[in-house]
Chains A and B, each alone.
Chain A
Amino acid sequence: MIRVLVLRAPGTNCDKETARAVREAGAAAEIIHVKKLIEDTIDLLDYDGLVIPGGFSYGDRVRAGAILSAKIKSKLWDKFKEFAEDTRPVLGICNGFQVLVELGLLPGLSYGDEPVAALVPNTLARFEARWVYLKHVNRNKCIFTRSLENRVLRMPVAHAEGRFMAAADIVKRIIENDQIVFVYVKPDGSLAMGEYPYNPNGSMMDIAAICNERGNVMGLMPHPERAIYSWQLPEKISDGYADGFPIFREMVDYIRENIK
């Protein structure tokens, strides 16, 4: 059975629906508190995939994702690094994306002490909770989106700090390396070009999701786990899956093909 670890920390609040999404995609999902990993009663390397779900880990103290990242860096870094370098899939959703950026696993161009990117407060200076349109722009590097081509997807965002920011040279490398996965677009699929509310946070280049150089680590601000079934859509269609589901299905398919 494929085993995916859904990481829980104090303040995580999207762990249950994330685990359900993983299960719906055909893997066993286990919600594990970071404390268990630190105590070494659970070994991350026994799992095939990792999801860091949304929420407010450690109450967003210092800044979003900073404390969980510091704990991982000081107590669990070798395991996390090995897990990611072993090309096992790592998915960070919302707060999880913030953690991956703080850790340096994203954009993953270096593992220095300092993050080279940030998810800063939204331009409009408020919490944005709304459905957005995303266009898949990755050219087949990201393992979570291999079937998506140039589809436009709908998922909800819910964050106050989601504006992707990095220095110009980092952004250049992210583009050259095919590390942008989703951008915010208008309903017709044309680029949001920073226009609110299509780009809900003022993110550079309308970036909503990026992956690392190998494509096995992805972070995104929108919540795919809140768009698994069509009845979760605003129009509440009774049957079928919604646009967030393929991300989890691709993760599990990738594990089946490459890890197991």
Chain B
Amino acid sequence: MPIYEVVVEVWLKDGIVDAEGNSVTEALRDMGYPVKDTRVGKVYRITMEAASKEEAEKLVEEMCRRLLVNPVKDKYLFRVEQR
């Protein structure tokens, strides 16, 4: 079975307060950088087996819906590459 490397990014939707992002913005501004806004997301790097790239994409979509993302508050994107 081919091995796929998957990268999933999960972000709080726009408009939902990102506390960590705000702290980072404040710290960077304190340091003198002209930062307007920071959003902090999560990145998952998943190594998996799948019959094809399409199959891998289908499974990753499922993983996002079932665990990695709450669609009420999160948005996400992912990419899948064969190793």
Contact = CB atoms under 8 A, between A and B. Distances in A.
A66 B70 contact: yes
Interface stretch (B13-21, B28-36, B47-55): B13-21
B16 to A, nearest CB: 6
Contacts, number: 52
A202 B17 CA distance: 10
Contact of B70 (A102, A122, A160, A167): A102
Interface in A26-69: 62-63, 66-67
A126 B70 contact: no
Contacts of B70: 63, 66, 102, 114-115, 118
Q: Is the interface of A mostly helix, strand, loop or mixed?
A: loop
Given A117-B72, A120-B12, A125-B17, A66 B22 contact: no
A123 interface: yes
Interface residues of B, number: 17
A123 B17 contact: yes
Given A66-B67, A70-B66, A70-B67, A118 B18 contact: no
A113 B72 contact: no
Given A114-B71, A115-B72, A121 B19 contact: yes
A115 B22 CA distance: 27
B65 interface: yes
A125 B22 contact: yes
A132 interface: no
Contacts of B62: 113
A120 B67 contact: no
Contacts of A63: 70, 74
A118 B70 CA distance: 7
A158 interface: no
Interface string A69-89: 010010000000000000000
8 contacts: A63-B70, A102-B70, A115-B70, A118-B72, A120-B12, A125-B18, A125-B19, A165-B72
Smallest CB-CB A-B distances: 4 pairs? A125-B19, A118-B72, A118-B73, A120-B73
Interface of B: 12, 16-19, 22, 42, 62, 65-68, 70-74
